[in-house]
Amino acid sequence: MDYSFALQQLVYGLTLGCLYGLLAIGYTMVYGVLRLINFAHGDLLMVSAYVAFFGIAIFGVAWPISFIGSVLFTALLGILIDRGAYKPIRKSPRINALITAIGVSFLLENLGLVLIGGRPKSFPAPGLFSGSIVIGTVNIPELSIWVFIITLVLLVLCVLVVKRTRIGIAMRALSRDMETVTLMGIDKDRVISFTFALGSSLAAAGGIMWCMKYPALEPFMGVIPGLKAFVAAVLGGIGNITGAALGGLILGLAEVLIVAVEPDWSGYRDAIAFFLMIIILLTRPTGILGERLPD
Amino acid sequence: MPRILLVIAALGFSMLSCAEAAEPINIGALLPMTGSVAAFGQMAWDGINTAKQIEPEALGRPIEIKLADTKSEKVDSANAVSRLIEKDKVVVIIGELISGNTIAASDHAERSKIPMVSPTATNPLVNQGKKFVFRVCFIDPEQGRVAAKLALDRLHAKTAAIIYDISQDYCVGLKTFFQREFTQDGGKIVSETMYKMGDRDFAPQLSRIKALKPDIIYAPIYYTECALIAKQAREMGLDTPILAGDGVQAPELIQLGGKAVEGIYFTAHFHADTISTPMGKKFYELFRKDVKKELDSYTAQSADAYFMIVDAIKRAGSTDPVKIRDAIRSTKDFEGLTGKITIKPDGNAIKPMVVNKVKDGKFVYVTTIMP
């Protein structure tokens, strides 16, 4: 394995890692506030991809409008899912919410199947995001650069929102102690809705980039990335935003490098992701950057 | 009370009218209508429905098709087949279309003694050692041999890299047969890389292949992944010719792959240009009028399975599954839509193989090879 081959793999690994990371941030945010693993997160990716697709291909809207529309729609859907499915059982045991999340996930997938059908559709990626830059022998797809920049910007934004803004302080407070926060006169539901909107729009951003990179839209396209993002979130320490991004990067790089270095192992790609998760859970249950929260 | 009387009267009346019309013959259609190979299932469903318009009855009884979706999954295939047999009481089954699912489903059909005819499952294990499972297509050892010949003679390849799906029996089988034939005839396999159905990122596998500079890439896989692989390969500047199998012949290959899939050669069951039988011409006309789509392998093969089954029921003179099985097994020179069908004692059909190519966004007929 020579120098440029390794660099090339690094580019691919970073791209995949950023996509996983972006999705994982949304996952981790909702978990951080509600202690709820939102299994429908991956399916929000699917919804956003389809909305963007319909905007461009069916209604002929310019792509920036279609993308923004898709993000807004997905954010709204996130709030609706919370209000409709999770809010009524907020006081029930945590396992109820978990099962409900799985239900919502199946609902979205099968709704997509009935409404749109199971045959894959192509995604018309705008010219800005296609093509690639060649440096020496290393080929860098332009989309990879965009993915990297967008992930970085969104990560910084999220950290700032959580650390610096009033709503961010409310989110952090809520994650520690829900009852006391309500006693302080904070509208709990507004904060939770905001969290869902933020998490879902991150899923949408990830979804749009995912389907530009892998243009095959189908109702179950969110399952695998959703699972991987979950692994990434656990890897980095669930509830920790920077950790989620880091977990995504580690996962993406590990998956790409293992296949590139040892092609015979390419069938074990998913096994590696979950093996990593098991190792982390066994040795460091709170994840790489996770901190122990007072229970 | 009068309401109950009314219900009883209505029931009695409906039973009476049922007795007047002949009871339908139930044929099961076990198809992947959703999931990763949904395109095949939907193409097959079009084919079966058009075929039913041509042959709507047998033995003076109307034929009814019971559809069961396998979701392109093995577990669901096994469940769907038992539903067809136990609940819908079918006497014969058309399906499944891909090898892995057919293998998963055929066990139950074999045990229940219900004959099953697969239109396109090519893996040899589909009906090995089974007495009730048939197919109207060629098998993968033959397909592998033709593909190897094609690679060596037409594409002048000396080295090949293989990329395939380890979770699908079809892909693993065909890869093995190609590998055997290709190396026997002097070719060299420089790399074997794999992935799992549902994977979307093939960059590391492809960059590995790129470094080895093979003459061709052999991809015995299904259409979605093939389109994405071609696309990602062309994006990274890897323009080695790609040779595929019958699993890529779906419009989605071209829709998803666009320019990247231009020039892909593949071995296939059928191309509309090869229609020569009267049945084929009649079907093609009706299909173009009604469905208004391209007539591809999966449509044609499924229609042929239907025609052959109806012919077998007529010859058996009964809807007893065992008698139908015997009639299917003795099918000889039956004029179907894709050509003459003869079922060998092992349950496989003798079928010529078609080589197609993607050209200008269309599947173009190249040649026919008798394996």
Task: Judge if B10-138+276-351 and B141-268 fold alike in CATH terms.
Answer: yes
Residue A107 is predicted with a pLDDT of 96
At B114 the pLDDT is 95
Q: Which residues of chain B does A117 touch, with a Cβ-Cβ cutoff of 8 Å?
A: 34, 38
| Closest by Cβ to B237, choosing from A139, A221, A264 | A139
Q: Which residues of B touch A118 (CB under 8 A)?
A: 33-35, 38
Q: What is the DSSP string of B4-25?
A: HHHHHHHHHHHHHHHHHSPPPE
- CB contacts, 8 Å: B205 with chain A: 259, 263, 266
Asked whether residue B19 carries a pLDDT value surpassing 60, the answer given is no
From the options 3.40.50.2300, 3.50.50.60, 3.10.105.10, 3.10.310.10, give the CATH code of B10-138+276-351.
Answer: 3.40.50.2300
- DSSP reduced 3-state for B340: strand
Q: Is the pLDDT of residue B237 over 50?
A: yes
Give the integer Cα–Cα distance in Å for B193 and B196: 11
Residue A268 confidence (pLDDT): 84
pLDDT tens-digit map of B299-308: 999 999 999 9
Above pLDDT 90, what percent of chain B?
71
Is the sign of the CA dihedral B77, B80, B82, B84 positive or negative? Answer: negative
Instruction: Write down the pLDDT at residue A118.
Output: 83
What's the pLDDT score for residue B351?
Answer: 87
What ipTM was reported for this prediction?
0.88
Q: How many CB pairs under 8 A join A and B?
A: 92
Model pLDDT, residue A178: 84
CA nearest A118 in B: which residue?
B34
B8 confidence band (pLDDT: 50, 70, 90): low
**In chain B, domain spans:** 10-138+276-351, 141-268
Q: Are B114 and B131 in contact (CB under 8 A)?
A: no
CA–CA gap between residue A287 and residue A187 (Å, rounded): 31
Among candidate residues B37, B34, B31, B32, the one with its CA nearest the CA of residue B223: B37
Q: Which residues of A touch B259 (CB under 8 A)?
A: none
d(CA B40, CA B45): 9
Q: CA of A122, closest CA in chain B: separation in Å?
A: 5
Which of B174, B177, B165 has its CA nearest to residue B226?
Answer: B165
Average pLDDT of chain B to the nearest whole number: 90
Each residue's pLDDT tens digit, B76-122: 999 999 999 999 999 999 989 999 999 999 999 999 999 999 999 99
For the beta carbon of residue A229, count every other beta carbon within 10 angstroms.
30
- The gap from C-alpha A271 to its chain's centroid, in whole angstroms, comes to 20
Residue B353: beta bridge partners? B369
CB A246 within 8 A of CB A231: no
Cβ separation B258–A122 shorter than 8 A: yes
Chain A contact set for B194 (CB, 8 A): 266-267
- Looking at the partner chain, which of A215, A220, A256 has a beta carbon nearest the beta carbon of B203? A256
In chain B, pLDDT over 70 holds for what percent of residues? 94
Out of B191, B208, B256, closest to residue A216 by CB: B256
Say whether B355 sits in a helix, a strand or coil.
strand
CA A210 to chain centre: 10
Query: Is B22's pLDDT higher than 60?
Result: yes
Residue B13 has pLDDT above 60, yes or no: no
Nearest neighbour of B196 by CB, restricted to A221, A263, A270 = A270
Residue A175's SS3 state is helix
Single pTM value for the model? 0.88
The sign of the dihedral angle between the CA atoms of B175, B176, B178, B184 is positive
Helix A223-236 with A41-53: angle, nearest 10 deg: 130
Longest Cα–Cα distance of chain B, Å, equals: 86
Name, in order, each residue with C-beta under 8 angstroms of B208's C-beta and a sequence gap of 6 or more.
A259, A260, A263, B191, B193
Across the interface, whether the CB atoms of B252 and A119 are under 8 A apart is answered yes
**pLDDT value, residue B1:** 47
Report chain A's C-alpha Rg in angstroms: 19
- In this prediction, residue B290 carries a pLDDT of 86
- Enumerate residue ranges in chain A where pLDDT < 50: 294-295
Closest CA to B359 of B269, B247, B271, B237: B271
Q: Which CATH code fits B141-268?
A: 3.40.50.2300
Q: Which residues of B31-56 are buried (b: 16+ CB within 10 A; e: fewer)?
A: bbbbbbbbbbbbbbbbbbbbbbebbe
pLDDT category at B10 given cuts 50, 70, 90 is: low
pLDDT at A295: 47
